Amino acid sequence: HLTLKLIGYPIKHSLSPWIHHTFIERSGIEGSYSLHEIPSEEVFEEEINKLREAKVNGFNITVPYKQTIIPYLDRMDVTAERVGAVNTVSLEGDKWVGYNTDGIGYVQALRDKFPDMDRNIDVSILILGAGGAARGIFHGLIQAGYNDLTLANRTKTKCEDIVKGYQASVITLEEAEENLAAYDVIIQTTSVGMNEAKQIVDLANLRKDTIVSDIVYQPLDTPFLNQAKEKGGRTHYGHLMLLYQAQKAFEIWTGQPIDVTGMDEEMIARIK
Ligand code: ATR
């Protein structure tokens, strides 16, 4: 029996249990995936110890604890190490191993929707934002071999911190807005647009057929993606990163590939 958990706060409305229950069903493996809410940092250690004692096989860890968990791990894989955050923990032998599947999950989500992304690692990619999500996506793209990356953020120094040691450009949001037509793929990673009618940049200068991706999925139709559609962009919705990071996590826990066919549409129906 595979015992899996989701740790974070708040997580009550998370779609992860539905995603992983679907995976469990599809895989034929006997297992469970349940919420383990940790309401504050003060009780984090105590709650983590409970999971260790219970010998849970694995767990996802989400906001605000993706970094808090690190001192409790025995090992981290290279990607998690580079990103400096963990979203998946797996019990391997008696060791807790930390992974970060956000970036590779995101890249897989992009490639599944736009197969031309698969063939062309020279596409010019603009990442808007420089928070935890941007860092994960940046490393996912680097790892997949994409070599023309640009970061733009309100606070420019945060971009410089992310790209340190890698070949990538850093620009301001104003420069991004002006030069939008230079990019084949634009990825919005900030919380701007979440439950609000705001956009991180105006897409007036967008080139037709550009892939425009927003990781916000509440709402799915963000102002950013709506404008992208109007301008003839190819849109990529925020729930896909959630779905594919979960796929990669489940594959780590089980060692088996898992098919996500049809889950995209069902997630959309559940979010709307
Ligand atoms: P996450 O870990 O979810 O990516 P985060 O680390 O809090 O979240 O990062 C939030 C991102 O959204 C940052 O890039 C932030 O810009 P700053 O680094 O300048 O703070 C960006 N962001 C949030 N609100 C914003 C706003 N109103 N305008 C522009 N950028 C905003």
Averaged pLDDT for residues 240-252: 98
- Is 110 annotated as a binding-site member? no
Residue 22 among known ligand-binding residues: no
Mutate to test the pocket of ligand 1, among 154, 196, 216 (most ligand atoms within 8 A of CB): 154
- Whether 12 and 53 map to the same domain: the answer is yes
Do 116 and 201 lie in one domain? The reply is yes
In this structure, the answer to whether residues 115 and 222 fall within a common structural domain is: yes
Residue from 137, 191, 199 whose mutation best tests the ligand 1 pocket (most atoms within 8 A of CB): 191
Lowest-confidence region among 2-6, 115-119, 121-125: 115-119
Quick one: 145 and 217 in the same domain?
A: yes
Q: What is the DSSP string of 155-201?
A: SHHHHHHHHTTS--EEE-HHHHHHTGGG-SEEEE-SSTTTTSS--SS
Same domain? For 124 and 232 the reply is yes
- 72 lies in which domain range? 2-100+240-271
What's the mean per-residue pLDDT of the chain?
97
Residues 218 and 258 in one domain: no
Q: Are residues 152 and 205 in the same domain?
A: yes
Token pair in block for residue 128: 């808007």
166 and 248 both lie in a single domain: no
Residue minimizing CA distance to atom 9 of ligand 1: 131
Q: Which amino acid appears at position 15 of this protein?
A: L
pLDDT of residue 163: 98
CATH number, position 139: 3.40.50.720
**Position 14 confidence tier, pLDDT thresholds 50, 70, 90:** very high
Check which CATH number belongs to the domain holding 62 and give it: 3.40.50.10860
Closest to 216 in 3D by CA, of 155, 129, 135, 141:
129
Q: Are residues 254 and 185 in the same domain?
A: no
Q: How confident is the model at residue 119 (pLDDT cuts 50, 70, 90)?
A: confident
Closest ligand 1 atom number to CA of residue 190? 12
Annotated catalytic residue, options 5, 66, 198, 208: 66
Judged against a pLDDT cut of 90, whether residue 118 lies above it is answered with: no
Q: Is 156 found in the same domain as 79?
A: no
Ligand 1 atom with the shortest distance to the CA of 173: 29
What is the number of other CB atoms lying within 10 angstroms of the CB of residue 138? 27
pLDDT at 29 over 90: yes
**DSSP category for residue 207:** P
Residues with a CB atom less than 6 Å from ligand 1: 129-134, 153-155, 158, 189-192, 200
| Residue 269 assigned to a binding site | no
Question: Tell me, what amino acid is at 116?
Answer: D
Residues 59 and 127 in one domain: no
Query: Which residue has the CA at smallest separation from atom 6 of ligand 1?
Result: 131
**Most ligand 1 atoms within 8 A of CB, residue of 106, 127, 157, 190 to mutate:** 190
Q: Is 231 a catalytic residue?
A: no
Q: Is residue 177's pLDDT more than 90? A: yes
Global confidence as pTM: 0.96
- Record the tokens describing residue 149, joined without a space: 């990356």
Mean pLDDT for 144-157 is 97
pLDDT at 122: 95
Q: Looking at the predicted structure, is the pLDDT value of residue 195 above 90?
A: no
| CB-CB contact of 83 with 139 (8 Å) | yes
Q: What is the pLDDT of residue 87?
A: 98
Note whether 189 and 213 are same-domain residues.
yes
Annotated ligand binding at 157? The verdict is yes
- How remote is the CA of residue 26 from the centroid of ligand 1, in Å? 36
- Residue 129 CA: nearest ligand 1 atom is 14
Q: State how many domains the chain has.
A: 2
